[in-house]
Homo-oligomer: A and B are copies of this chain.
């Protein structure tokens, strides 16, 4: 899919005459010479200064930080304008189904439905009534239980186990809502899952807004977990049931999150950190430590705090 920059600009209501070709919408960091990007948060200022995008949607006051030669699309509402642009690149849902390319020794129930261009490796089992959308790829030895849905463009590694009711690649939750019109930011990224990953029943993993949501090899996810768009879950991480990861949470290697714990978005949790059940993480946390409480703090502090709270009613 590609458009002239001027066409996109016209659709989103910004004045721009350049006929340069745009074939992707990207973050500032991932952009290339055919990407349109946007700048809406000062925390991305370094990315702005180094972007390889051909054009950037941004407020006038930040134009001075653009690298030489990058075209500025100026607006007071860069997030909303980018949201409008995503509509042009958005997936068009269809009910058509196709045959998949299926490896040796793989079993597929005849009730399974495929989008266009699906590739399944060897020695896989795809059970009843599951659906794999356009361009989904599944590597060797992966088991998909019944009633699983894998949206278009998702990539699943080898020897994974995907339990029933799992939804991979549904839209992340993105709305440009400043003016209360809830303009949808179409989710044009995907989900990439490594090898030996297990995903529990009815867990949902949202596709990235732009780029990829990543579940790295050997991570194990329990049931009814929400993984927001653009999250990254490190190798060997263990996520217990009903955990909620807000968008763009990054977990390091071997992180353990107890049941019903959760994170606010756009933060990082270091390697081998452990979160007690029901912890609520509100800022980035160093690795190698155990945390608890909401907001999550060193678990020793949380335990002392709980003891102090319990003592409150004895003092009176």
Contact = CB atoms under 8 A, between A and B. Distances in A.
Interface of A: 93-97, 107-109, 111-113, 125-129, 131, 133, 143, 145-147, 149, 151, 161, 163-165, 167, 170-171, 173, 175, 177, 180-182, 184, 196, 198, 200-202, 204, 206, 218, 220, 222-224, 226, 228, 236, 238, 240-242, 244, 246, 254, 259-260, 262, 264, 277-278, 280, 294-295, 301, 304-306, 308-310, 312-313, 316
When all copies of this chain in the complex are counted, the total is: 3
Contact of A131 (B107, B108, B146, B306): B146
Given A127-B93, A149-B147, A163-B167, A220 B107 contact: no
Given A94-B107, A309-B305, A129 B127 contact: no
Contacts of A133: 146
A93 B143 contact: yes
A93, A109, A206: residue with the most chain B Cβ atoms closer than 10 Å: A93
Given A128-B113, A226-B241, A173 B220 contact: yes
23 contacts: A111-B113, A128-B131, A129-B129, A131-B146, A145-B170, A164-B167, A167-B201, A170-B223, A171-B198, A173-B200, A173-B223, A180-B236, A182-B238, A200-B204, A202-B224, A204-B223, A223-B226, A260-B260, A260-B262, A277-B280, A305-B310, A305-B313, A309-B309
A278 B301 contact: no
B312 A182 contact: no
A170 B200 contact: yes
A129 B202 CA distance: 16
A145 B92 CA distance: 12
Contacts of A226: 222-224, 241-242, 259
A130 B177 CA distance: 30
A135 to B, nearest CB: 15
A158 B241 CA distance: 29
Contacts of A202: 165, 167, 202, 204, 224
Contacts of A180: 236, 254
Contact of A125 (B95, B294, B310): B95
A66 B244 CA distance: 44
